[in-house]
Structure 1
Amino acid sequence: MTKENLILLADAYKYSHHKLYIPGTQYIYSYLESRGGKFDETVFYGLQYFLKEYLSGEVFTIEKLDEAEKMLVEVFGRNDVFDRSRFEYIITKHGGRLPVRIKAVPEGTVVPVRNVLMTIENTDPECFWLPNFLETLLMQVWYPSTVATLSREIKKVVTKYYEDTASVASFAGINFVLNDFGFRGASSPESAGIGGSAHLVNFAGSDTLPASVFAKRYYHAPIAPGFSLPATEHSVCTLLGEEGELEIFKYILDTYPTGVIACVSDSYNIFRACEEYWGTALKNQILKRKGTLVIRPDSGDPVNTLLKVFEILMDKFGYTTNEKGYKVLPPQVRVIQGDGISYSSIPGIFEALKQAGVSAENLALGMGGALLQRVNRDTQEFAFKCSYAIINGEAVNVHKMPVELDANGHLRTSFKKSKSGKLSLIHENNQFKTVEETTVPDTANMLQTVFENGNVIREYTFNEVRGKAAL
C-alpha cells in the first residue's frame, strides 16, 4: 500500500513555523489531552493506526518532497515559506525516518479528562519544528478515542438496565446489544474502519465490515471482532407490495430455518406485521424454529413504537417472568430498534420498557450516524499543546493561560489553560494524576514509548485494548 505524502499532511500555516520559532530553539515537547467535554473520562484508542499507517519507516523521500514543494509554492503563492532543506536533512541524515519519540498511555486505558494521554518530542535538535508539524495528523486520534468513549458510555447505560431488569443468564448478551449500523453514514470508508473498530472495543455487534478489517490489520485481532447476522432491508420486504408482505415473511423464515435472522417489519404497518403476520399466521413456524427471529421497527417514535410492539408480541407469543420480575419473550422472538438511536435516546427507551415491566434482554439496538459521525474534536475537547522546550541549551517550561469573561463580565482563567513541563501519568490510590516527569520514576509513568526514530516500539492487540476498556 502506497502511503500518503506525509510532507503534505499538516495545516498549511505550520510550514512557516521553522522560521517563527525563536532562534536557538533545539527541542520541542508537546502533549495531548482531553480537556473535558461530554463525558468525564476518555478511552484512549487509535494511535497505533496512525503510527503504522503514516509515521513508521521511510516517510520522507525526494519524490515526495518534489511533489510537496510544487504544491506548497502554489498554496502560498511565494517561495519563502516552505523550506525544502528541512526535509532534505531528515532524508539525508535519518533515511527519511522521523526523529521523534512518542509516548502514550496503553491503548484502551480509560483516563479521566484533563490528564496527559500522549507526548511527542524531537530526538534531533535540528528537527525542533517536527513535533508540532505532526500535530495535525496525530490530533486525529480524537476520533477513534471519542467513538470508543461514546460506545463505552452507552454500554454503561445498557449494563445498568440489565442489572435492573434482565436475568443473570442473559448478561452474556450485553456485548451484542448495541450494533454498529454506521458504515453508510460515515464520511469515508477509512472513517468507518477507524470509528467502527473503536465501537468494537466495547461491543461485538457490527455491520461495518471495515471495522473488523481495521482491527485485524492494525491491532492483530485473531478473528473478526465484529459479528453480524442475516437480515433483510426494505428492498427485500417490499418486492411483492403490501399484499405480498406475509408471503415474503414466510419465505424469509423458510430460507433460514435455523439461527438468528432479522427482518425489518415496518414497510407498511409494523403493528399489523407483529399481530397478524408474525404473531398469528407465522407464529407456530417461529416457535418451532431452532433460532431467533429479530423483528425490526424502523420508523416512528422509538419509545411509543416499542411499547406497542412489545405489548402485541407478548400478547401473541406469551412471556415468562424472570427472577427480577420482568417480562421476557420466548427465546425465538426478539426486537431490534435501529431508528432514532443515540446516546440521548437510549436511556429513555430502556426506562420506558422498565416502567412497562419489560426486561432489557428483549431488545437490541442499531446505531448509525449518531455513533460514527455525530461526534467531533470538541465532544471531548481534545487539545495538543507544547509544554517544554530547550532554547540555546536552557530548559524552558511552556504553557498558556488565557483569560475570559464570565457571565457577569468578570475575568477568569479559561479552561483552555495548558500544562507545563515534561509530563508523566501515574495511577495511585485508584486515581489517575498528571505530574511533572521528574517527580516520579520511569517505572511509575503510565506513558510508554510507542514510537521512536521511525520505528513502532510497542504494539497492542485488539484483545488487550478490549481488556483495558472493559467495565
Structure 2
Amino acid sequence: MEQPHSTISYNPILDTDSYKPSHYLQLPPGTRSLFGYIESRGGVFDQTLFFGLQYILSRFLSTRVTYAMIEEAKELLAGHGEPFNEAGWRHIVVRHDGRLPLEIRAVPEGSLIPTHNAMVTVRSTDPEVAWLEAYMETMLLRVWYPITVATQSWSIKQVIRRYLEETSDDPESQLPFKLHDFGARGVSSEESAGIGGMAHLVNFRGTDTLSAIRYARAYYDEPMAGYSIPASEHSTITSWGREHEVEAYRNMLRQFGGPGKIFACVADSYDIYHAVERLFGGALKEEVIASQGLIVVRPDSGNPVEMAIATAKMLKAKFGAVRNGKGFDVLNHTRIIYGDGINERSIRGILIELKGYGFSADNIAFGMGGALLQQVNRDTQKMAMKTSAILMQDGWRDMFKDPVTDPGKASKKGILSTYRNRDTGEVRTMRMDEARGDEWDDMMRVVWRNGKLLVRDSLATIRERAGRPC
C-alpha cells in the first residue's frame, strides 16, 4: 500500500538557530526589552537597495503561534538537546492570540542606503518575552537575499544605463528590458526563484522566472511585474535534426514572426557562423525581412565578448544597420541576446566592445541566470543583525560588540534610526536620543507592530523610489 507523504507545516518557533531557544535563560534578570538593527557592514557594493522585508513579514512573521506549534517545538527541542521556554510561548498565545509582540521600523523599500547604516530596527514590546527580538534574527536576516539581488541588479542597471545614454537615441525606454532573468533553474528552490526574481524586477521588466510574477502579485500587489517573449531552446532546434536546421528556424519565423512581433532563437546548437550567415542571413533572409518583426539571435557558447561582437558584425553584414542620432549603428530586423557566462564584468566588456565597433547598446540584451539569483550570499554585502540596547528596570542600556581581532565587526550602540539630511541628501544612522538639527528627517517608519503589518507598498511604488537619481 502506498504510504502517505509527510509534509512540514511552517512553525515560527522552529524558524531559528538551534541555540536561540536557550537564550531566554542567559539574559540578565529583569530584562524588559531588547532592541536590534539590520545593516550592511560593507561588501561588494558601497550602497544597498533595500527590498524584501514586506515579503518576510507577510509570509512568515504574520503566522500566528498555536498550541500545536508549541507542542511540536517542545518535543523536537527536547530530543535535540535544547531547553524550551514553553511558558513564554504559551504567554504569546494567551496574551497576544499567537501574534508576535514586536515593533519593526524600516526605511522605505526601494531606498538606496549607503553601507554601515541601519535599514531595519526590531524591538520586543512585551517584558514577559523580551528575548523575542534576538530569537527572530534568523528569520528576519534572510532579508539579505532580496536586498543583495536587488542591489546587484541595480548596479548592473547603472552600467547598462551609461552605455545606452552614450549610444542610444531612447535610453529610458530601452533600459527596462536590457537585463533578463534566466535564473529560475539555477537557484536552490522555487521560493528562492520567487524572492530573487522579484527583487530583480524592482529594476527591470524582463524575466523568464514565472515564480517572480506570482510572488510580486501576492506580496507586492503588482498584476504583471515582468514580461517575456517566445524563445527557442537547443532541444526545440535540435529536434529537427542538423540537416533540417533551417526548417527549425523557418518554423520559428512562421509561428512567432509578424509585423511588430519579437521572438528569440538560439543559433549555436551546431555552428553559429553558419546559422547566422547562411541560414538567417541567407536562405531565410527574405522571410526575415518580410516578417516586419524582430528576431533576437542568441549566441550561447564561447567567449561572451568575442561572440557578441562577432554576431553583431555578421548581422550587420547580412541585414544592414541604421545610423542613429548619436552616430551608432542599430541593426535592421534583428537584435542579440547573450545569456551564457553573463555577469557585471562580461556585460561591461561587451558594451565597451560594441561601442568601440560603432554599435548602439540598443542592439543587445542580456540574460543572467545563476550569477543573478544564486551567486550571492550574506557576505556579499556583509549583512548582519545586532542587538544594540537592553531595557532594564532603570531604563535603556547600550549593548555592543567590539572585537579587537576584527574592528569591522564592531556594532552600533543604543536606540537607533536612520536619517536623511534634507539639504545634502546624506544618509546617516544615529541614536534617537542624540541632538540633531532640523535638517535631518527620520527615514524609518513603523511597518509592523504586535502581529500587524502596518505598511504595504506596491511594487510600482518601490520601483519609483528605486528609479530616482542617486
> What pairs up with 1:156-195 in 2 under 5 angstroms?
156-166=158-168, 168-195=169-196
- Tell me whether 1:16 sits opposite 2:17 in the alignment: no
Residues 259-280 of structure 1: per-residue CA shift (max 9 Å, x gap): 1111001000011100000011
Question: Hey, what's the Cα distance between the residues in 2 that align with 1:169 and 1:55?
Answer: 43
Q: Which residue of 2 aligns with 1:454?
A: 451
- Tell me whether 1:71 sits opposite 2:41 in the alignment: no
Q: Which residue of 2 aligns with 1:82?
A: 84
Check the 8 A contact 1:201/1:466 in 2, yes or no: yes
Check the 8 A contact 1:26/1:393 in 2, yes or no: no
Question: Hey, what's the Cα distance between the residues in 2 that align with 1:159 and 1:243?
Answer: 42
Q: Is the partner of 2:154 in helix, strand or coil?
A: helix
Give unpaired runs (5+ residues) of structure 2. Answer: 1-7
Q: CA deviation at 1:454?
A: 0.5
TM-score, length of structure 1 as denominator length: 0.94
Q: CA deviation at 1:442?
A: 13
Q: Which residue of 2 aligns with 1:427?
A: 420
Q: Which residue of 1 aligns with 2:347?
A: 346
Q: Is the partner of 1:12 in helix, strand or coil?
A: coil
Question: Hey, what's the Cα distance between the residues in 1 that align with 2:307 and 2:398?
Answer: 58
Q: Is the partner of 2:428 in helix, strand or coil?
A: strand
> What pairs up with 1:390-469 in 2 under 5 angstroms?
390-404=391-405, 414-428=407-421, 429-439=424-434, 444-469=441-466
Q: Which residue of 2 aligns with 1:34?
A: 40
Question: Hey, what's the Cα distance between the residues in 2 that align with 1:289 and 1:430?
Answer: 51
> What pairs up with 1:117-128 in 2 under 5 angstroms?
117-128=119-130
Question: Hey, what's the Cα distance between the residues in 2 that align with 1:255 and 1:390?
Answer: 67
Deviates more, 1:390-399 or 1:314-323: 390-399
Question: Hey, what's the Cα distance between the residues in 1 that align with 2:9 and 2:39?
Answer: 27
Question: Hey, what's the Cα distance between the residues in 2 that align with 1:170 and 1:12?
Answer: 50
Check the 8 A contact 1:146/1:375 in 2, yes or no: yes
Q: Is the partner of 1:415 in helix, strand or coil?
A: helix
Q: CA deviation at 1:112?
A: 0.5
Letter in 2 for 1:228: S
Letter in 2 for 1:424: S
Question: Hey, what's the Cα distance between the residues in 1 that align with 2:199 and 2:171?
Answer: 24
Q: CA deviation at 1:143?
A: 0.2
Question: Hey, what's the Cα distance between the residues in 2 that align with 1:214 and 1:163?
Answer: 32
Question: Hey, what's the Cα distance between the residues in 1 that align with 2:356 and 2:75?
Answer: 65
> What pairs up with 1:89-100 in 2 under 5 angstroms?
89-100=91-102
Letter in 1 for 2:111: T
Q: Which residue of 2 aligns with 1:289?
A: 291
Residues 176-217 of structure 1: per-residue CA shift (max 9 Å, x gap): 000000000011000000000000000000000010111110
Check the 8 A contact 1:426/1:433 in 2, yes or no: yes
Question: Hey, what's the Cα distance between the residues in 2 that align with 1:71 and 1:129?
Answer: 20
Q: Which residue of 1 aligns with 2:62?
A: 56
Question: Hey, what's the Cα distance between the residues in 2 that align with 1:311 and 1:333?
Answer: 12
Residues 93-143 of structure 1: per-residue CA shift (max 9 Å, x gap): 111111110000011111011001000001111111000100000000000
> What pairs up with 1:323-338 in 2 under 5 angstroms?
323-330=325-332, 332-338=333-339
> What pairs up with 1:367-382 in 2 under 5 angstroms?
367-382=368-383
Deviates more, 1:348-357 or 1:372-381: 348-357
Question: Hey, what's the Cα distance between the residues in 2 that align with 1:393 and 1:56?
Answer: 32
Q: Which residue of 2 aligns with 1:410?
A: none
Q: Is the partner of 1:403 in helix, strand or coil?
A: coil
Question: Hey, what's the Cα distance between the residues in 2 that align with 1:306 and 1:347?
Answer: 12
Check the 8 A contact 2:137/2:385 in 1, yes or no: yes
Question: Hey, what's the Cα distance between the residues in 2 that align with 1:169 and 1:469?
Answer: 20
Q: CA deviation at 1:69?
A: 1.0
Q: CA deviation at 1:3?
A: 6.1
Spell out structure 1 runs of 4+ moving beyond 3 A.
439-443
Question: Hey, what's the Cα distance between the residues in 2 that align with 1:442 and 1:336?
Answer: 47
Q: RMSD across aligned C-alpha pairs, in angstroms? A: 1.6
Question: Hey, what's the Cα distance between the residues in 1 that align with 2:9 and 2:103?
Answer: 21
Question: Hey, what's the Cα distance between the residues in 1 that align with 2:116 and 2:46?
Answer: 9
Q: How many residues align?
A: 456
Which of 263, 270, 274 in structure 2 is aligned with 1:268? 270
Question: Hey, what's the Cα distance between the residues in 1 that align with 2:9 and 2:458?
Answer: 23
Q: CA deviation at 1:165?
A: 1.6
Check the 8 A contact 1:3/1:54 in 2, yes or no: no
> What pairs up with 1:143-162 in 2 under 5 angstroms?
143-162=145-164
TM-score, length of structure 2 as denominator length: 0.95
Question: Hey, what's the Cα distance between the residues in 2 that align with 1:442 and 1:177?
Answer: 38
Letter in 1 for 2:457: Y
Q: CA deviation at 1:33?
A: 0.4
Q: Is the partner of 2:345 in helix, strand or coil?
A: coil
Q: CA deviation at 1:11?
A: 0.3
